[in-house]
Structure 1
Amino acid sequence: MQHSWSRYLRLIIALLLGFFLVGLWFGYPLVGLTLGLSVYLVWTLVQARRLHHWLQHPDDDDDAPGSIGLWGEIFDGLHRMHQAHQHSRDLLQTRINRVQESTNAMRDGVIMTDAEGNMEWWNWSAEYLLGFRRDTDRGQPIHNLIRSPAFKAYFDARDYRDPMDLKSPAKPHIHLQIQISLFGDDDRLIVAKDVTRLFQLEQMRRDFVSNVSHEMRTPLTVISGYLETLSDNMDDAPPRWRRAIGTMSQQAERMEALITDLILLAKLETGEQHIDDRVTDVGALIRQICSDARAVSGENQHVIETDIGERHHLFGDENQLRSAFSNIIFNAVKYTPAGGNIRVRWYTDREGAHMSVKDSGIGIDPIHIPRLTERFYRADPSRHQQTGGTGLGLAIVKHVLLNHDGTLEINSHPGDGSEFICHFPRSRITEAPIETA
């Protein structure tokens, strides 16, 4: 490049010197020099105009304008850059087209928006599942097309660890699972999956469990009534009859507890049970449950301690909270060896309110903890056979906490006991109601 520039500079000097000598021959050296500079300036402007026209309309002629000297090398360099740019653009466009074609082949809806939620691109499945229109919806805020407060809250929360369920705004019979991911400059990639079949299967399961539970309650009530009558008149019966009827009575009670839990869980899952939010004295509730737990402990003589903080009023459904807390506390009694310690604590902090139940039992292997709230999941089936557990208690706890915007934390290791903590948000903490005269 340095050699080309030197040669080009020598040509310019030779051109000007030639015009100068011609002018000197005619007796006007300055006029000759000025004329040479003018010719060079006009030639330079012509080359600049050709460059500008080519840059403004590169598709009119793929080849750069031809020239000599420095301008020729500039045109050649720009032409090579233009060719490389076109090659990269074509390669990138090919990849984009392939990604779009493969995305359009997906059954899941895929939508890309900017940080504000303005629609940038979506595939064909998104048009079918969500009713988008390619000719009018591009650039529209997605909140104008999916008019759901829950979706807007999920979109703005930026906490996308868990998906959300949503009915299709265009086809209400379609149930969707929405998952959002962040990419680029806070842009969003939204995936909408059709889970209608799973929703229907889950609904069928719930209806089946609910219906069967209700149908079983009537014959079981009759059986329990006759067993109770037989138990009251067994003074003269043979011992083996008394043992048989006693065993049947125990199993009938266990079946009744199972059916009661199934019906309660079905109501919690389907939302049939109305949430009666009111100010609840959690301190008094925990003390009452602990008193019942001491009675259940009986000869096992568990040491049950309570530690209730000053702010012990919660806005929630007292019956549901009673069910959740009693399940956790009674489980601690059932699975803690005789003479063990159980500490029930209620406290508040900057994060919210918390109810902790810590026991000195044999503990649970951490591998089982993620599944403990599943229906009928048993970390140790033999323990449930001995204690008569239904396997539904922690599932009920999970749904009660969901109804109260809370979460369940489980900490346990074999040999170190277990701790179950119910977390409630600060918005649920309240003051005692003012008594009116």
Structure 2
Amino acid sequence: MQNNWSHHLHQLLGALAGCLLIGFLIGYPLPALTVGLIGYLTWSMVQSRRLYQWLSNPDVDRTPPQSVGLWGDLFDNLHKLHLKNRKTEEKLRTQINRVRESTNAMRDGVIMTDSEGTIEWWNGAAERLLGFREKTDLGQYIQNLIRSPDFKRYFYSKNYEEPLELNSPARPHIRLELQINLYGDNDRMIVAKDVTRLYQLEQMRRDFVSNVSHEMRTPLTVISGYLETLEDNADDLPPKWRRAVHTMSTQSSRMEALITDLILLSKIEIGEQAYDDHLNDVTGILEKIVHDAQALSGEQEHVIQLEITDHRWLRGDEGQLRSAFSNLIFNAVKYTPAGGTITVTWSADSAGGQLSVKDNGIGIDPIHIPRLTERFYRADPSRHQDTGGTGLGLAIVKHVLLNHDGKLDIRSRMGQGSEFICHFPANRLVQRKPEALTPNGNSFENGDPGASPNNNARPGATPDKVEPRG
């Protein structure tokens, strides 16, 4: 390209030099040079007009204007560039069409929006699942078409680790799972999956477990009552029946515990259990559970330590929190060898509150950790036979934490013990306010009349260690 430009420049200078030479020969060098320059300028203007007319025609396949010199090369190079761009455009258009055809063949809905939620494109499945209409909905805000507060919060949160489930705005009988992915300049790609069948199966499972558990409770209570009566009068039984009655009573108690956990888990899952959002003295709750855990340890003589480094109160349901905390601490007692050490720590930082239950037992193989919170999952079934565990404790803990905007973190290594950490958000930690007296003499907490007073609260106290009682 540089060589062509130098060649054309030399041609121009040669032509001007020829005009100047002719001017010298006829005695008018400057007028001759001026005439040559005007002629070249006129020729360039004509070529510019031809270029403008050619570029104004959208048919880029038309043969370019014929010319010589610099303008001839310019026409040819522009024509080659147009052809190259045309091929690239056709190739990109073909790829886009293939992507659209493939997405239209998907059973899952795909919606593309900008950062504000303006709908730019969707596939056929999205039109079927969400009821979008091309003539009226293209360019609309997706928040106006999916009118759900949960979806609006999910869309703007930019926290898309977990999908969102909701009913279809166009077909309420369809249950959708929405997953948002960020790309470009905070643009969104929304994938909508039809999970109606899975949702119905899960609902059937919950109903089945709940109904069966309730139906089994009554006959099991009768059986347990008669077995308890027989045990109280064991001296009157033949010796060969005493062991049988004791074994039946033990297994009956185990079944009762299993049914109780099933009913509790079912109520927490489907929201049947009343949720009391009050302030709870974590110190008092943990002291009582640790005391019970020491009694559960009995002759195994575990060393159970309770460390409190924050005395703010936790907002939530006391019954659910007590159930979750006791499951973690009692599990540590059951699965830690005799004489082992169990450390229960309640602390807080800028992220929120944490309950840590740490033991120095045999640990858990990391391969089992992702499934530990599943119902009835047993990392070591033989250990559950010895301890009488129901396999539902960690499932209850997980659902209680979900109800309190928290999460469970499990850390363990074989031979190095285990640590279970409950994380609670900072907005659930509240400084206990001084109690005031009502006109009738009853005390209540300012801002939370439903919370019961507790003298164990010590706002601002220094970190301490509470030794287990009993």
* Structure 2 Cα separation of the partners of residues 87 and 219 of structure 1: 79
Correspondence for 1:62: 62
Name the aligned partner's letter for residue 213 of structure 1. Answer: S
Alignment pair present for 1:401 and 2:401: yes
Task: Judge conservation of contact 1:224–1:249 (CA < 8 Å) in 2.
Answer: yes
Question: 1:14-413 alignment to 2 at 5 Å?
Answer: 14=15, 17=18, 21=22, 33-59=33-59, 62-413=62-413
Greater CA deviation, 45-54 or 199-208?
A: 45-54
Post-superposition offset of 1:271: 1.5
- C-alpha displacement of 1:331: 0.6
Do the aligned partners of residues 109 and 141 (structure 1) sit closer, same or farther apart at CA in structure 2, a change above 3 Å counting?
same
Letter in 1 for 2:434: I
Q: State the TM-score, normalized to the length of structure 2.
A: 0.87
Asked whether the equivalents of residues 300 and 339 of structure 1 are also in contact (C-alpha less than 8 Å), the reply is: yes
Q: 1:3 to 1:207 in 2, by over 3 A?
A: closer
1:226–1:433 Cα change, 3 Å: farther
Distance of 1:16 and 1:57 partners within structure 2: 38
1:88 CA displacement: 0.8
Query: Cα 1:431–1:81, aligned 2, differ >3 Å: closer, same or farther?
Result: same
Identify if the C-alpha distance between structure 1 residues 18 and 435 changes in structure 2 by more than 3 Å, giving closer, same or farther: closer
Corresponding residue SS for 2:354: strand
Distance (Å, rounded) in 1 between the aligned partners of 2:381 and 2:145:
50
Structure-1 separation of matches of 2:21 and 2:221: 124
Q: Which amino acid aligns with 2:151?
A: F
Structure 1: gaps (5+ residues): none
Inter-CA distance 61–295: structure 2 relative to 1 (3 Å threshold): closer
Indicate if the aligned counterparts of 1:100 and 1:123 stay in contact, CA closer than 8 A.
yes
Contact 2:60/2:83 (8 A) holds in 1: no
Distance in 2 (alpha carbons) for counterparts of 1:115 and 1:24: 74
Matched residues in 2 for 1:176 and 1:282: separation?
38
- Secondary structure of the residue aligned to 2:262 is helix
Deviation digits for residues 364-418 of structure 1 (CA, Å, limit 9, x no counterpart) = 1111111110000000001101111000000000000000011111111122121
1:23 to 1:57, Cα distance in 2 relative to 1, 3 A: farther
Alpha carbons 1:54, 1:61 under 8 Å: kept:
no
Aligned-residue Cα RMSD (Å) equals 2.2
1:6 match: 7
SS of residue paired to 1:136? helix
- Give, in whole Å, the separation in 1 of the partners of 2:175 and 2:54: 55
8 A Cα contact 1:20 1:30, kept in partner? no
| Deviation at residue 18 of structure 1 after TM alignment | 5.6
Deviation at 1:99, TM superposition (A): 0.8
Task: Give the secondary-structure state (helix, strand or coil) at the position aligned to 2:235.
Answer: coil
Q: Which moved more, 1:400-409 or 1:6-15?
A: 6-15
Tell me the distance in 1 between the aligned counterparts of 2:341 and 2:295. Answer: 15
Deviation string, structure 1 residues 22-74 (Cα, Å, up to 9, x no partner): 9986x977666545443432321121122122223232753222222211110
- Give the match's secondary structure for 2:353: strand
How far 1:328 moved relative to its partner?
A: 0.5
- Kept in 1: contact 2:23–2:30 (CA 8 A): no
Displacement of 1:19 after TM fit? 9.9
Distance 1:363 1:18, change over 3 A: closer
Does the C-alpha gap of structure 1 residues 293 and 10 become closer, same or farther in structure 2, counting only changes over 3 Å?
A: closer
- SS, match of residue 137 in structure 2: coil
Identity percentage of aligned residues: 64
Displacement of 1:316 in angstroms is 0.6
Unaligned runs of 5+ in 2: 438-470
- Alpha-carbon spacing, 1:412–1:8, altered in 2? closer, same or farther (3 Å): closer
Structure 1 match to 2:466:
none
How far is 1:115 from its partner? Answer: 2.3
Give the superposition deviation at 1:286: 0.4
Contact 2:60 2:82 (8 Å CA) reproduced: no
Q: Partner amino acid for 2:274?
A: H
1:73–1:406 Cα change, 3 Å: same
User: Can you list the C-alpha shifts for 1:263-312, whole angstroms capped at 9, x where unaligned?
Assistant: 11111111222221100001000001111111112222222111122424
- Aligned letter for 1:244? A
Amino acid at match of 1:141: Y
Contact 2:23 2:31 in 1 (8 A): no
TM-score, normalised relative to structure 1: 0.94
The offset of 1:344, in angstroms, is: 1.0
- Change in Cα spacing, 1:184 to 1:236, as seen in structure 2 (3 Å) is same
SS across alignment from 2:126 = helix
> How many angstroms apart in 1 are the aligned matches of 2:291 and 2:12?
108
Residues 16 and 33 in structure 2, CA contact (< 8 A), matched pair in contact too: no
Equivalent-residue separation in structure 2 for 1:405 and 1:169 (angstroms): 26
Q: 3-state DSSP class of the match of 1:219?
A: helix
Q: Which has the higher contact order (CA 8 A, sep 6+)?
A: 2
Q: Provide the secondary structure at the position in 2 that maps to 1:140.
A: coil
Q: Secondary structure at the match of 1:62?
A: coil
State the shift of 1:238 in Å.
1.1
Instruction: Kindly state the Cα deviation for residue 17 of structure 1 after the two structures are TM-superposed.
Output: 4.7
Q: Following TM superposition, by how much is the alpha carbon of 1:12 offset from its aligned partner in structure 2, in angstroms?
A: 7.2
Q: Specify whether residues 312 and 283 from structure 1 end up closer, same or farther in structure 2 by C-alpha distance, changes over 3 A only.
A: farther
CA deviations over 1:333-365 (Å, ceiling 9, x no partner):
111122222111111112211111111222111
